[in-house]
Amino acid sequence: MPDPIDLAPLIDHTLLRPEATTADVERACEEARRYGFAGVCVTPANVALAARLLAGCSARPIAVVDFPLGTGPTTAKVGEARGAISAGAQELDMVVNLDALRRGDYALVLRDIEAVVEVARPRPVKVILETGALTREEKVIGAALAKAAGAAFVKTSTGFGPGGATAEDVALLRQVVGPEMGVKASGGIRTAADACKMVEAGATRIGASASVAIISGGPATRGTY
């Protein structure tokens, strides 16, 4: 098991609470700079501020798209993705169209992801599957569609849906997408032990609001995930 501090470059420091303030974003970006997190994941409304505050450091400003429900039309997702990129987002975390996936409209799911991947290119797109709401078969199909659509990562959860990341789900997603794609574990990861289980299962990125506690061993405070 790696030393907790080695986890820092794998962590997307996350601030997606609806009530998050400018001061919260400033603090999250300062923590990302201090600890060397992979990025700071915020809402599109906050991505311009995050991009400005992270300029010149390795942490990337990341915006969510159609978060947390994923039910918007493709045109709306593409518009939100374009706006986030214009504001400085270097990565996008989009929510899969969960309704379409569960009713078997796989062509819609594929087109939806492809459209965001295309507008984001060459920036990576992570596809949030909300694994806690899916059957095993649906998880497999969702991950396969994300890979076919050219996404860079599959991601377990929004943090707002049922359940969170599990090592079993991470291992399943890794098995489906193979070594070519990233797997991001998010949802309920609050300690170094939690994070290390996900890495051992195949995760290459961790989404967490308890990032500082994870790498320092301190108590986790209330956050999005």
Residue 3 reports pLDDT greater than 90? no
Backbone angles phi, psi at 170, to 5 degrees: -60, -45
In sequence order, which residues have a C-beta less than 8 Å from that of residue 200 and are 6 or more positions away?
A: 1, 167
What number of other Cβ atoms are within 10 A of residue 81's Cβ?
Answer: 25
Supply the pLDDT for residue 216. Answer: 86
Q: Give per-residue pLDDT as tens, 42-87.
A: 999 999 999 999 999 999 999 999 999 999 999 999 999 999 999 9
User: Domain coordinates of the chain in residue numbers?
Assistant: 4-216
Q: Which amino acid is at 104?
A: G
C-alpha span between 8 and 103 (Å, rounded): 38
Distance between CA 165 and CA 179 in Å, rounded? Answer: 19
Give me the sign of the Cα torsion angle 74, 80, 86, 91. Answer: negative
Q: What residues act catalytically?
A: 93, 155, 184
Q: What is the pLDDT of residue 4?
A: 52
Work out the mean pLDDT of the chain and round it to a whole number.
Answer: 94
Counting Cβ atoms within 10 Å, is residue 82 exposed (0-12), middle (13-18) or buried (19+)? middle
Per-residue pLDDT, 218: 58
Domain 4-216 CATH class label: alpha beta
The per-residue pLDDT for range 132-172, each reduced to its tens digit, is 999 999 999 999 999 999 999 999 999 999 989 999 999 99
